[in-house]
Amino acid sequence: MSDARSPEDERELNTLTPPEKVWWKRLGPDERRWLTIAFVWCLILFTGMYVWMGIGDQQTPIESYRIDPDDFAAETTAFIEEHQVDEMEGVPVVAPPPGSNVYLQASQFQFRPVLQLEEGETYRLLVSSTDVQHGLSFQPVNLNFQVLPGYLYVIEITPDRPGEYPMICNEFCGLGHHVMTGMVIVAEAGAEGNAP
């Protein structure tokens, strides 16, 4: 038995045919269908972001200004002295009039004062830190803000449900971070402004 091959056979064994250029082929009907669905879905999501910003009522308008931490602490103390109605676990409870500026001071490791607001009334919440960076998270409505020393944040809020709403610091601010809480008490519309 002879193992001799012809030159044509050798050439066929040694040459490889180039692979088919799959990227240059036309898309099949299933591929076109899925690409169309994905593209349309991306357009819906992209458009939805801007629609939700306009009608979703999720974007809380915030203004920010520079302020000296000592000046803010003095303004907060004056605010507490003017509007204090009670004390809760050593923290003053204030009941400011509707439509007024409401001061909230973040410092290691507490928010002060406890705010008693009225349902359906609008307030300008002025928040700042007197020492380090803090986070302000209202639960269960899930409003979250960063609070930096040297900056005054003005947040317009209108409480729409009566109840007690805890605040927590959601930015690590030191060894006592886990105990840094506060409270907003929303009284029913027309109810007398008595602290708990």
Q: Which domains does the chain have, with CATH numbers?
A: 62-187 (2.60.40.420)
Count CB-CB contacts under 10 A for residue 164. 11
Q: Cα separation of 130 and 113, whole Å? A: 14
Residue with tokens 């300008």, as numbered in its chain:
124
Mean pLDDT, rounded, for 166-186: 89
Distant-in-sequence, close-in-space partners of 165: CB < 8 Å, separation ≥ 6: 138, 139, 140, 141, 183, 184, 185, 186
pTM above 0.75, yes or no: no
- pLDDT tens digits for range 115-169: 999 998 999 999 999 999 998 888 766 678 889 999 999 988 888 889 898 989 9
What does the pLDDT read at residue 196? 44
Nearest alpha carbon to residue 80 among 101, 110, 55: 101
